[in-house]
C-alpha cells in the first residue's frame, strides 16, 4: 500500500509538468501572432514589436518556455492579454461556481444512477431492466448542449418554473463567504433572516445541474448494474438468501456494499469530467464558472488565459483521478502493486 501510493504520487509530478509543457507548445500551432491579433490589422510594425517585447514573445521559444514554467511553479499564470488581470486570480474567482455545479450534479447522478443500476440488476431481463439500460444508452448519447436548451424551453420558457440562466436573481448581490451560493445563501438565512438568496441560488442550479448530471447518471447506472450482476451471482448471496434474510438486506447490505468499489471509482472519474466538461453546460445556462470564462478566452484568442485555464483544469482532473486511485487502493486490500 505505502509503496503503491508513493509510486502513484511520484508519477503525478511528471504528468503535471508534461501537461504544462504540452499546453504551452500547443499555442505555437496557432496561425498568427498574439500581439498582432491584439492590436489589429492596421497596427504599425513598431507597435507590434513593442508589445511582443513586452510579452516576451521576441525571445527564443525555449526561453519563453522556461520563464513560463518557472512562473507556473510559483503559481503565477501571467496576465490576460485582453484585460491585463492576473489569470490565476480570474480562475480562482470562477472556480467555486464550477465546483458547486459539478458537486450538485454528481450527487444527483450518483443517487439516481445507483438506484437505477441496482433496480436493473435485481430485476434482470425485465421491463425495468430494459428501460433502465436503454435509458442509460440514451443518456450516454445525449448532446448535453441540446438537452440544456430543451430543459430551458420546457421548464423555464413554457412552465416558468426555473430561471433560464445565471446563479442568482439579477438584483441580488451575494456576499461571498464560501463562493458556493447555495451554502452562502443558507448562511444568510441565519445572519439576516433572509430566505430569498438561498431559494434563488437553489432555483438557479436545478436546470444546469440536471443537464450536467445526465451523462454521469447513465454511466454510473451501467457500472452499478454490471457490478451488482457479478456479485449477485456469487455463492454467499445464495447463502444469505437461504438463511431467510429479507431481500432488501441481501441486496443493500450484502451485495451492494461489495459492488461499491467500481461504483465509487466511476463516480470519482465522472466528477473529474464534470469539472472539465462543464464548458457546454455553463455556456448554455450563462453560469459564471470556469468553463464559461475559458470559452470566452478561447473565442477572444486570449492565449495566456486559455493556457492557464486549461493547465488549471487539467491539474484538477489529474488530482481527482489520483484521489480516486488512492481511495480505490485503500478500500480494496487486494491492490498491491
Partner 1 sequence: MPTSTLESVTSAPAANGSAPPPDVSLLHEQWLQFRKSKSALLGLLLIVTFSLLALFAPVLAPGDPLLQHLPASLTRPLHGGYLLGSDDLGRDILSRILFGSRISLMVGAISVSISVVAGGVVGLVAGYFGGALDLLAMRFIDLMMAFPSILLAIVICATLGPSLQNAMIAIGVIGIPSIARVIRASVLAEKELDYVTAERSLGASHLRLIFSAILPNCVAPIIVQSTLAYAGAIISAAALSFLGLGAQPPAPEWGAMVSSGKEYISTAWWVITFPGLAILLAVLGFNLLGDGLRDVLDPRMKE
Residues at the interface with partner 1 (CB under 8 A): 14-15, 18-19, 22-23, 26-27, 29-31, 133-134, 137-138, 140-147, 149-150, 152-153, 157, 222-223, 226, 272-273, 275-277, 279-280, 283-284, 294-295, 298-299, 301, 306, 310, 313-314, 317-318, 321
Instruction: Output the smallest distance, CB 78 to partner 1, in A.
Output: 17
Instruction: Output the smallest distance, CB 228 to partner 1, in A.
Output: 11
Instruction: Output the smallest distance, CB 308 to partner 1, in A.
Output: 12
User: Which residues, other chains included, contact 109 with Cβ-Cβ below 8 Å and sequence gap of 6+?
Assistant: 213, 214, 216, 217, 220, 267, 270
Instruction: Output the smallest distance, CB 312 to partner 1, in A.
Output: 11
* DSSP label of 176: -
Instruction: Output the smallest distance, CB 110 to partner 1, in A.
Output: 18
Nearer to partner 1, 147 or 324 (CB): 147
Nearer to partner 1, 96 or 165 (CB): 165
Contact 281, 144 (CB under 8 A): yes
Nearer to partner 1, 209 or 214 (CB): 214
Nearer to partner 1, 202 or 318 (CB): 318
Instruction: Output the smallest distance, CB 183 to partner 1, in A.
Output: 26
Instruction: Output the smallest distance, CB 283 to partner 1, in A.
Output: 7
Nearer to partner 1, 143 or 233 (CB): 143
Contact 144, 150 (CB under 8 A): no
Helix (H, G, I), strand (E, B) or coil at 86: strand
Instruction: Output the smallest distance, CB 153 to partner 1, in A.
Output: 5
Q: Residue 116 to residues 119, 213, 217, 233, 235: CA-CA distances in angstroms?
A: 5, 14, 9, 19, 24
Q: Burial of 4 by CB count in 10 Å (0-12 exposed, 13-18 middle, 19+ buried)?
A: middle
Q: Residue 251 to residues 27, 239, 257, 260: CA-CA distances in angstroms?
A: 52, 13, 9, 12
Nearer to partner 1, 185 or 289 (CB): 289
Task: Identify the helix (H) or strand (E) that includes residue 302.
Answer: none
Nearer to partner 1, 119 or 276 (CB): 276
Other Cβ atoms closer than 10 A to 30: 12
| In the chain, alpha helices (H) | 2-26, 34-39, 45-55, 61-73, 87-122, 127-140, 144-151, 181-192, 196-232, 235-242, 247-249, 257-284, 290-299, 303-331
Instruction: Output the smallest distance, CB 310 to partner 1, in A.
Output: 6
The span from the CA of 335 to the CA of 51, in Å, is 54
Hey, which residues does 79 pair with through a beta bridge? Answer: 86
Q: How far is CA 238 from the centre of its chain?
A: 40
Place of cell 489569470: 87
Nearer to partner 1, 201 or 232 (CB): 232
Nearer to partner 1, 9 or 53 (CB): 9
Amino acid at each position: 500500500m505505502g509503496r503503491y501510493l508513493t509510486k502513484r504520487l511520484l508519477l503525478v509530478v511528471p504528468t503535471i509538468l508534461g501537461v504544462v509543457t504540452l499546453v504551452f507548445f500547443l499555442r505555437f500551432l496557432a496561425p498568427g501572432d498574439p500581439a498582432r491579433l491584439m492590436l489589429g490589422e492596421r497596427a504599425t510594425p513598431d507597435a507590434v514589436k513593442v508589445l511582443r517585447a513586452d510579452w516576451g514573445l521576441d525571445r527564443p521559444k525555449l526561453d519563453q518556455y522556461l520563464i513560463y514554467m518557472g512562473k507556473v511553479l510559483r503559481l503565477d499564470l501571467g496576465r490576460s492579454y485582453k484585460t491585463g488581470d492576473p489569470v490565476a486570480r480570474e480562475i480562482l474567482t470562477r472556480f467555486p461556481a464550477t465546483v458547486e455545479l459539478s458537486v450538485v450534479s454528481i450527487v444527483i447522478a450518483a443517487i439516481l444512477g445507483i438506484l437505477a443500476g441496482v433496480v436493473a440488476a435485481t430485476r434482470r431481463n425485465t421491463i425495468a431492466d430494459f428501460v433502465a439500460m436503454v435509458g442509460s444508452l440514451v443518456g450516454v448519447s445525449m448532446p448535453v448542449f441540446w438537452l440544456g436548451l430543451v430543459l430551458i424551453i420546457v421548464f423555464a420558457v413554457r412552465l416558468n418554473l426555473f430561471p433560464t440562466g445565471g446563479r442568482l436573481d439579477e438584483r441580488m448581490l451575494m456576499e461571498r463567504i464560501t463562493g458556493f451560493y447555495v451554502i452562502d445563501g443558507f448562511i444568510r438565512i441565519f445572519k439576516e433572516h433572509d430566505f430569498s438568496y438561498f431559494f434563488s441560488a437553489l432555483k438557479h442550479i436545478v436546470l444546469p445541474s440536471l443537464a450536467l448530471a445526465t451523462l454521469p447518471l447513465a454511466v454510473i447506472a451501467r457500472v452499478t448494474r454490471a457490478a451488482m450482476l457479478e456479485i449477485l451471482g456469487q455463492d454467499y448471496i445464495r447463502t444469505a438468501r437461504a438463511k431467510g434474510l429479507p431481500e432488501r438486506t441481501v441486496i443493500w447490505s450484502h451485495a451492494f456494499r461489495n459492488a461499491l468499489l467500481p461504483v465509487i471509482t466511476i463516480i470519482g472519474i465522472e466528477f473529474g469530467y464534470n469539472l472539465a466538461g462543464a464548458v457546454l453546460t455553463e455556456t448554455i445556462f450563462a453560469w459564471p464558472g470556469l468553463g464559461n470564462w475559458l470559452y470566452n478566452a478561447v473565442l477572444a484568442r486570449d492565449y495566456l488565459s486559455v493556457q492557464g485555464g486549461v493547465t488549471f483544469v487539467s491539474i484538477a482532473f489529474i488530482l481527482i483521478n489520483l484521489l480516486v486511485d488512492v481511495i480505490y487502493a485503500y478500500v480494496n486490500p487486494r491492490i498491491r502493486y
